[in-house]
């Protein structure tokens, strides 16, 4: 059979009426879009009727198209993508049938593509002979014989992304419908006064070009301690570690030798900081030699430790008193640890080792910066990218980066790109997402999700990783003219869904996916689901929940018809929950994780030494120890497993110590211990035991407090807590008294020493 000559011509055998209606629909697109849309609905009704016949489905009363789609979806006759196509056609058909002014050629274009999807599905499932090669989808073309006016050609050109309308060749079989991603001209954008340059073709997006700079694949992502581009200069945000380093450099004696150690790990911003100093503060480092990769050998015959010995020879015990050399050394903490505890041959480094020991860099204490004699040290690991406050965490760093990208300012190249695209009538979902992110509350929510990812998943999120994350939630895989997207495609490509649905793209998005608000049950979400399923008019609900104007437009097509079915309703509901989380100030607190909030509050109080709040945590941990191991009576804790014939327990009195805690009075702190650290002392003995609690352990502890019984996996995950309990048991009284419990008949016996040191066995 010939597959050419008509839209969905491959359906002529399996659905001849459907094929004829499809051809008529395509013929009417340019002449009468409203009639074309109605024909699309007729096509959907015909295909549905064919499915009922093929599946021998009997109905005993007339069913609407809505009812038929709902029945087939619930019974599993088609998947969510096919159902979505039917729903899109049904909703648009309702508009065209009931609104005399509805005559949108954009909708006709969208339905044309959805009809193709349905046609391919129907042919593959119900055709008796699958011998045809189904043609690829093609956008409907203006036919020469129709002699369409230039104004119509211009309208279609704008729709499919072309601005040079002469490109719209009537004889062409395929018309480009994408928005090309322009290449960045690095030779033009070089100075602060020329940070945004108009050098693209008329159909290319400036905003997409500028946002592409945020990606890891961009040239701007390459960190080089010797280069600091104009773009990086604009995006630079001052951090406390930078200000502390500048302070140290400003205080140095020009005649004295000096070694400044920048200690951290890969990707923490050392290269960016050094490049910034070279570009912006050359006066501070003019006398210093900088080593950004201290493990790179100068000779193939030397390993990393030998290379370090060569670099640091003037700071050995033998030379340091007479050396005037000045070095800034960026070094991995593990490499530094290995170096100072290495047995050196040519020189010794006891003074450097003593400096590192005094700095407490490798202890549980905070070492943001430390200076002594010829040595200075800054630890990137103790300078956090967020702050702890009494009202919860904040992040000046991430908030400032967001402000750089989204603030409405003529000094902002991203904003200038948006305005330039608007002037040229270029609009994609990327532009919509950008404007959505200009909402200050949305920005706050994004920052809070990033902080949660750091705390819960222990991520290290550099400026570069964060900027790439912004690109990921702004730019979908395929960027096309916004008018070509149906309502469900808008949902798919909008920021709320890109934020929570792209876990495979990065470690950040994988962590954020696990914080998806649709995973949290609450009275708030349950009530919303009930309202949407029972109320006939959704407009008051949407207006009550959503105040953001950009995202309201995304929901407009749904407001007009609330009869969404199964998969389509679920997709809308998930999108609506995510959207509420980002824009509704009352909604997000109602579904937040209370244990996370409590953990960060307690973390703040421990880092400032607030005794009134610290007391509560010590009480919680004490209660958890007794619940974890079990307790026969007050102050006694079991020593053996419940499976044994009888249970042994000892009296355990816990004595907290607070000597390891700092005393601070700042309202916001950005150098702090990232775990809660509790200390216990053993009576008059000199040694203490410490318990370090990160968020996953805190969450488990909270569950145990609420009656949860830990299983084998919990014991493995909470190994630090199990080991702590074993250590703390040494503080117990089992050497003087043991309580024996026979659980079968609930008998208790005491085994204890009398006044003469002999053991006495008596029943309680």
Secondary structure of 491-543 as H, E, C letters: HHHCHHHHHHCCHHHCHHHHHHHCCCHHHCCCHHHHHHHHHHHHCCCCHHHHH
One domain, residues 325 and 418: no
Answer whether residue 148 is part of any domain: no
Q: Is residue 163 part of a domain?
A: no
- Has residue 301 been placed in a domain? yes
User: pLDDT tens digit string along 124-149?
Assistant: 998 877 667 888 888 888 766 545 55
Whether 304 and 418 share a structural domain: no
**In the listed set 591, 618, 646, which residue is the last one of a domain according to the structure?**
591
Residue 580 domain flag? yes
Looking at 140, 155, 177, the residue that finishes a domain is 140
Task: Mark whether 340 and 458 lie in a shared domain.
Answer: no
Which tokens is 61 given?
């009363």
Same domain, 14 and 133: yes
**Segment 335-364 mean pLDDT:** 90
Query: How many Å is the Cα radius of gyration of the chain?
Result: 34
- Buried b or exposed e, range 719-735, using 16+ CB within 10 angstroms: eebbebbeebeebbebe
Q: How far is CA 583 from the centre of its chain?
A: 17
Tell me which DSSP letter residue 144 carries. Answer: G
Please provide the average confidence, as pLDDT, over all residues in the chain. 85
Q: Do 507 and 601 fall into the same domain?
A: no
The fraction of the chain above a pLDDT of 70, given in percent, is 87
One domain for residues 323 and 422: no
Local structure of residue 52 (DSSP, 8 states): H
Predicted local distance difference test score (pLDDT) of residue 345: 83
- Phi and psi dihedrals of 647, rounded to 5? -110, 135
The answer to whether residue 95 sits within a structural domain is yes
475-528: per-residue pLDDT in tens? Answer: 999 998 888 898 899 999 999 999 999 999 999 999 999 999 999 888 888 888
The pLDDT score that the predictor gives to residue 562 is: 58
Could you say which DSSP state residue 445 is in? H
Domain containing 38 — which CATH number? Answer: 1.20.120.330
Percent of the residues in the chain that have a pLDDT greater than 90, as a whole number: 49
Q: Which of residues 569, 591, 613 is at a domain's end?
A: 591
pLDDT value at position 165?
36
373/247 same-domain check: yes
118 shares its domain with 104: yes
Determine the average pLDDT of the residues in 655-684. Answer: 88
Instruction: Single out the residue of 51, 88, 43 nearest to residue 68, CA to CA.
Output: 51
Q: Do residues 582 and 611 share a domain? A: no
- Mean of pLDDT values over 73-94: 89
pLDDT of 222 over the 70 cut: no
Q: How many residues would you count in the chain? A: 764
- H-run or E-run covering 551: helix 549-559
Distances (CA, A) of 209 to 203, 215, 391, 698, 740: 12, 11, 38, 44, 74
For 18-61, the pLDDT digits (tens) are 999 999 999 998 888 888 999 999 999 999 999 999 999 988 78
Q: How many domains does the chain have?
A: 4
Q: Which residues form the domain of 508?
A: 388-591
185 falls within a domain: no
Strand-strand pairing, 258-264 and 375-379: parallel
Answer whether residue 75 shows pLDDT above 70: yes
Q: What is the mean pLDDT of residues 326-344?
A: 91
The per-residue pLDDT for range 353-387, each reduced to its tens digit, is: 999 999 988 876 777 899 999 999 999 888 899 99
Close Cβ partners of 511 (under 8 Å, ≥ 6 residues apart): 452, 453, 456, 457, 459
Q: How many CB atoms lie within 10 A of CB 683?
A: 7
Distance in angstroms (rounded) separating the CA atoms of residues 680 and 525: 43
Within-domain flag for 438: yes
Q: Is residue 748 part of a domain?
A: yes
Regarding whether 743 and 712 lie in a shared domain, the answer is yes
DSSP one-letter string for 306-372: HHHHHHTGGGSTTTTTT---EEEEEEEHHHHHHHHTS--SS---HHHHHHHHHHTTTSSS--SEEEE
**What is the largest distance, in Å, between two alpha-carbon atoms of the chain?**
117
720 and 664, same structural domain? yes
Same domain assignment for residues 410 and 531: yes
């Amino acid at each position: 059979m010939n597959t050419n000559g008509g839209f969905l011509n491959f359906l002529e055998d399996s659905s001849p009426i459907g094929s004829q209606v499809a051809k008529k629909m395509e013929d009417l697109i340019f002449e009468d879009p409203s009639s074309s849309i109605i024909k699309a609905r007729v096509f959907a009704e015909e295909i549905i009727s064919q499915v009922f016949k093929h599946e021998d489905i009997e109905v005993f009363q007339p069913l609407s198209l809505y009812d038929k789609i709902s029945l087939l979806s619930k019974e599993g006759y088609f998947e969510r993508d096919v159902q979505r196509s039917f729903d899109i056609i049904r909703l648009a058909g309702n508009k065209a049938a009931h609104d005399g002014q509805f005559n949108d050629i954009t909708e006709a274009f969208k339905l044309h593509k959805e009809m193709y999807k349905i046609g391919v599905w129907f042919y593959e499932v119900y055709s008796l002979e699958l011998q045809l090669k189904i043609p690829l989808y093609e956008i409907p073309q203006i036919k020469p014989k129709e002699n369409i006016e230039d104004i119509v050609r211009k309208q279609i050109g704008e729709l499919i992304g072309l601005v040079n309308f002469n490109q719209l060749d009537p004889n062409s079989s395929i018309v480009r419908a994408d928005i090309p991603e322009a290449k960045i001209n690095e030779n033009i954008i070089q100075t602060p006064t020329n940070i945004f340059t108009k050098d693209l073709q008329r159909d290319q997006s400036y905003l997409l070009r500028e946002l592409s700079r945020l990606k890891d694949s961009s040239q701007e992502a390459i960190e080089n301690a010797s280069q600091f581009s104009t773009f990086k200069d604009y995006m630079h945000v001052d951090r406390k570690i930078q200000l502390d380093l500048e302070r140290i450099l400003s205080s140095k004696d020009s005649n004295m030798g000096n070694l400044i150690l920048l200690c951290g790990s890969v990707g923490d911003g050392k290269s960016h900081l050094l490049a910034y100093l070279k570009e912006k503060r050359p006066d501070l480092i003019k006398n210093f030699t900088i080593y950004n990769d201290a493990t790179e050998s100068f000779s193939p015959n030397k390993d990393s430790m030998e290379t370090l010995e060569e670099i640091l020879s003037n700071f050995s015990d033998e030379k340091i008193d007479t050396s005037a050399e000045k070095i800034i050394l960026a070094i991995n903490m593990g490499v530094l640890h290995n170096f100072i505890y290495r047995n050196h041959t040519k020189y010794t480094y006891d003074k450097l080792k003593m400096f590192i020991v005094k700095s407490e860099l490798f202890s549980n204490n905070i070492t943001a910066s430390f200076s002594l004699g010829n040595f200075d040290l800054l630890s990137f690991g103790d300078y956090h990218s967020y702050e702890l406050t009494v009202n919860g965490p904040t992040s000046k760093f991430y908030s400032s980066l967001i402000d750089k990208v989204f603030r409405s300012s003529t000094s902002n190249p991203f904003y200038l790109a948006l305005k330039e695209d608007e002037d040229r009538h270029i609009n994609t979902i990327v532009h919509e997402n950008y404007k959505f992110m200009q909402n200050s509350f949305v920005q706050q929510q994004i920052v809070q999700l990033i902080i949660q990812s750091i705390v819960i998943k222990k991520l290290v999120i550099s400026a570069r990783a964060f900027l790439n994350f912004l690109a990921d939630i702004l730019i979908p895989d395929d960027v096309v003219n916004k008018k070509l997207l149906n309502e469900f495609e808008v949902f798919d490509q909008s920021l709320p869904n890109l934020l929570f649905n792209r876990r495979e793209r990065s470690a950040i998005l994988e962590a954020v996916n696990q914080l998806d608000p649709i995973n949290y049950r609450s009275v708030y979400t349950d009530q919303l689901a009930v309202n949407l399923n029972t109320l006939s008019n959704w407009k008051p609900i949407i207006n009550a929940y959503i105040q953001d104007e950009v995202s309201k437009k995304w929901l407009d097509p749904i407001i007009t018809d609330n009869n969404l079915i199964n998969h389509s309703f679920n997709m809308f509901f998930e999108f609506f929950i995510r959207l509420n989380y980002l824009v509704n100030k009352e909604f997000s607190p109602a579904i937040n994780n209370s244990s996370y909030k409590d953990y960060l509050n307690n973390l703040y109080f421990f880092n400032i030494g607030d005794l009134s709040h610290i007391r509560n945590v010590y009480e919680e941990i004490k209660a958890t120890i007794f619940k974890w191991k079990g307790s026969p009576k007050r102050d006694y804790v079991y020593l053996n497993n419940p499976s044994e014939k009888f249970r042994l327990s000892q009296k355990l009195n816990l004595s907290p110590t607070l000597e390891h805690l700092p005393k601070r009075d700042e309202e916001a702190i950005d150098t702090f211990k990232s775990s809660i650290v509790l200390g216990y002392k053993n009576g008059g003995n000199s040694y203490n035991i410490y318990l370090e609690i990160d968020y996953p352990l805190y969450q488990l502890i909270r569950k145990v407090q609420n009656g949860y019984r830990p299983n084998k996996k919990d014991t493995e995950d909470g190994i630090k807590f199990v080991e702590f309990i074993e250590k703390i048991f040494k503080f117990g009284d089992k050497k003087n008294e043991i309580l024996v419990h026979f659980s079968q008949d609930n008998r208790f016996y005491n085994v204890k020493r009398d006044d003469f040191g002999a053991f006495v066995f008596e029943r309680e």
